[in-house]
Structures are given as structure tokens and as C-alpha cells.
Chain A
Amino acid sequence: MKEKKESAKRIVFTILGILLLICSVMIVGFAIFVFEDTSNHDNSITTGTNPEGTLSFAYNENSNGVELMNAIPIDDVTGKKLTNSDKAKGINQGYFDFSIRASGTSAGKIKYQIYATLENDSNMDTKYIKVYLTDDKNNPYRGYDSDVPVFSSLDKYSSQKNSKILYSDEINVKEDVIKRFRLRLWVAKDYSDGATSKTFKIKVNVRATA
């Protein structure tokens, strides 16, 4: 009798064990596909790899944004003479003073690009926006010393959408030079785009290049 009970117990445990194993296999079987992979390249970002030094960008305004709103078309002779006080006279043309400076201990140079990015709410046709870049003594920089270009004709700045290169050059580091810029913008004399009010807005920035 006792042996019968023992035998029955063994059978029950055996069946339970087998059932448990089958259940485990089924659970594992339903999560059988897994996949793992990693990208082929490192994605890398590095600051200040210019061993010569660092570049800084400074401006006097509250922001590095320049806006033309309700500006009247003027000729290039007038545009080149725009002053900061012209805005107060109701002639809302763009005028922006800024500077760049390289600092470091090397005797080398840093290459840089000054670029302007069109703001989202800018809706004026850029072929009518005149761009004029000078130093703080109003001497035009290279590219602005003959005909005054329009914004649409400037070279694209490839690292940023809707951006144009205003100027590119290099700057000495060891001399601790501050290079000053004055940007003037105005609506071209031949502008005719109806009576609707339009806006032109950009942000100016500078980037050291390799």
C-alpha cells in the first residue's frame, strides 16, 4: 500500500516536472527573435580643435538679430551712409555693429566665416535686400568694395539651413586683434512687391573653420 502511494507520488511529480519544462520552452519559444547592432562610425563633436586659439564674437545690441520692417526702398549711395540713428527717424533699415577676436598664445591664424541665417518669419524676397559689410570706419570689406550684393546672391553657408556667408577670412591670434564689422541692410531701389507689408529678419553668427 505504502509502495503504491510512493509510486503514485513519483508519477505525479514526473508529470508535473515535464509539464513545467514544456511550459518553460513555450515561454522561451515565443520570445525567440532578438536583434542587436551598432552603427558603423563614431559620431564625434569636438570643440576648439584649433590649436592656435579661440574665437569670440561680440555685439553691442541686445541680440545678434537684424530686422527690416516697413523699410522704404533706397539707392545704394543712401544705403551705404545709413547710421544707427536712421531707425529713430522712421527709416527702418538694418544696422548692426559687431566684432570678433582671437585669443591664444600661438603665432598662428584662425580661419572664420561670418554667416547670416534667415528667420522663420522673414517673408521678403531676398533678391531685394542689399547687404553691405564694412569695418567701423565704413571701409568696405572684400566682396563689398564694388557693387553692393543682394542677399540672394551670397554664397550658401552649408552647415546651416537658410544661411548665407557674409564674409570669410583669417585672423591673427598672437596679436590679440579685435576685428570690427558694421553690417548695413536696406531694401533695393527697384523693389516692387505690392503694398503688402513684408519683413526681413536674420541672425548673424561667426564660426571658426578648420
Chain B
Amino acid sequence: MNTNEEREYKNDSKSILLMVLGVAILVVAVIGVSFAAFAASKATSNVNTLTTGAISMAFQDTTYIDIHNAMPISDKEGMALTGDYNTMKFTVSANVSGSTTIDYVISAVDVTDQNGNKIPEKYLKIYMTGEGSIISTPKLYSDLENVQHEDQVDKVLAHSSFVTTASSAQEYKKDYELKMWIDEKAVIGKDPMTFKIRVRLDAEQK
């Protein structure tokens, strides 16, 4: 090998060595991040600490809506609906250690049989409370904000978040209640019409 070729060989070797080192650093970084579900840094007055923790979430519905022979009713009557199969009660909870924010969106997924007789969206009223407080005043399903999930457009029912600060594992929980009814202005005939939804929860750590 002549001098130039030797030099070229050395340079190429350096490049390869650098690339190998870089990949090694990358692999270590990925493994380090994967083992921590989330990471937060907090500086105390004396010691700089890095706290890692774990998150688990749960979405539990305890009752569901199954109303038959529905007639148009006022918002006042709709908001006062109570009892078995007239409301959906559910809980969103997270078990978190460390400081972080988890944003979540609750949405309605239309699962009505599209080949059947469907209640028009402009006739359906939706109302939600959370922790006993009103999340939004009764709204027509057609007026709810859209949210895209894969190839389906769903309707946003509520946004919220858990902001956590405890260093040890702690449970955060919010209870919700959903009601729906036929708007008092709806015109319905004697042929049955149906509307069905499932409630969906999407959460993301920030």
C-alpha cells in the first residue's frame, strides 16, 4: 500500500470508528429511555435529582344508556334524567409517580348501524358532568367539535388533564356522567330510529 492509500485507509477507519461509537451511544440512549415510562427532572435546593416513574391508566364505565320509546324532551328534563339505563357513568384514572402532565380527550364514537333508521345528529342532545360540575351545557351532537381518529371522525365530549407532583405512586381519578336525549324540537314519526355511541378515551403524557 502506498502512502496515499495508507492515509485514505486511516481516514476511512476513523470514519467507521466514529460511526460505530455514534451508534453505540444511540443504542444506550434508546435503552435508557425505554426503561423509563416517563422522566422528569427536579432541582432541589441542595441536590439535582432526576426522578423516573411509571404511569398506568384506566377507563371504567359503571352504567350505560339504553333508552327505548324516547320522545322529544326539554333540556331541563334531559339534564334531570336519572336511574338505570338513563345515564352513563364512568371514571378516568391514572396511577402516577413523579411530576408530569397527562392530557386526555373523551370523545363519542358513532356506532349506529348505518343501514338502519338513524336519529339525525341535529336531533340528539348531549350533556356531560364531571365530578358533579357541568362540563358543557346541553349541545346538539351535530354541534360538537370533531376529532379525527384513524379514518373516522368522532365528537369531542371533554378535554382534561392530570397534573401530578407526588414523588411516590398516587392515584388520580375523575368521575363523569353522560346523558343524551331527543331534542324537544325534533320531529319523529312512528318508525323507530336509533342512535348509538361508545365513549372513547385518548391520553398522552406531555
- Taking a contact as CB atoms closer than 8 A, the residue among B57, B71, B88 that contacts A43 in the complex is B88
Contact with B200, one of A39, A41, A42 (Cβ below 8 angstroms): A39
CB pair A10–B15 under 8 Å, yes or no, is yes
Q: Does A25 contact B (CB under 8 A)?
A: yes
Complex Cα distance, B190 from A53, in Å, reads 6
Q: Is B119 within 8 A of A47, CB to CB? A: yes
Complex contact A160–B18 (CB within 8 A): no
Contact A47 B29 (CB under 8 A): no
Shortest B172–chain A CB gap in Å is 13
* Interface size grouping (class) on chain B: 35 or more
Q: Are B15 and A47 in contact (CB under 8 A)?
A: no
Q: Out of B22, B111, B188, name the residue touching A18 (CB < 8 Å).
A: B22
Among candidates A7, A32, A37, residue contacting B33 with C-beta atoms closer than 8 Å: A32
Given contacts A33-B204, A44-B195, A45-B124, contact A38 B26 (CB under 8 A): no
B160 shortest CB reach to chain A, Å: 14
Q: Would you call B199 and A43 a contact (CB within 8 A)?
A: yes
Establish whether residues B88 and A33, one from each chain, have CB atoms under 8 Å apart when the complex forms: no
User: B132 to chain A: which residues have CB within 8 Å?
Assistant: none
Closest beta carbon of chain A to B90's beta carbon, Å: 7
Q: Tell me the complex Cα distance, A22–B77, Å.
A: 58
User: Which A residues lie within 8 Å of B33 (CB)?
Assistant: 25-26, 29, 32
Cβ–Cβ contact A18 & B200, under 8 A: no
Enumerate chain B interface residues (CB-CB to A < 8 A): 4, 7-8, 11-12, 14-15, 18-19, 22-23, 25-26, 29-30, 33-34, 37-39, 55, 57-59, 61, 64-71, 73, 77, 80-84, 86, 88, 90, 102, 104, 109, 111, 119, 124, 178, 180-182, 188-206
Q: Given known contacts A11-B14, A25-B30, A45-B180, is B68 in contact with A37 (CB within 8 Å)?
A: no
Contact yes or no, B64 A14, CB < 8 A: no
Residue A48 lies at the interface, judged by CB distance under 8 Å to chain B: yes
Determine which of A29, A36, A48 lies in contact with B191 in the assembled complex, contact meaning CB atoms within 8 Å: A48
Cβ-based interface call for A50 (8 A):
yes
Contact A48 B188 (CB under 8 A): yes
Chain A residues with CB below 8 A from B111, complex form: 42
Question: A40 contacts B61, CB within 8 Å?
Answer: yes
> Closest approach, in angstroms, between the C-beta of B64 and any C-beta of chain A?
4
Residues A5-33 near B (CB distance < 8 A): 7, 10-11, 14-15, 17-18, 21-22, 25-26, 29-33
Complex contacts, B102 vs chain A, CB 8 Å = 33
* Contact among A7, A39, A45, A163 with B198 in the assembled complex (CB-CB below 8 Å): A39
Q: Which chain A residues lie closer than 8 Å to B12 at the CB level? A: 7
A47 lies within 8 A of B204 (CB) = no
Whether the Cβ atoms of A46 and B64 lie closer than 8 Å is: no
**Any B CB within 8 A of the CB of A208:** yes
A-B contact pairs, 18 of them (CB 8 A): A3-B11, A10-B11, A18-B26, A29-B39, A32-B33, A32-B205, A34-B204, A35-B204, A36-B200, A39-B88, A41-B64, A45-B67, A46-B68, A47-B69, A47-B71, A48-B191, A117-B77, A208-B69
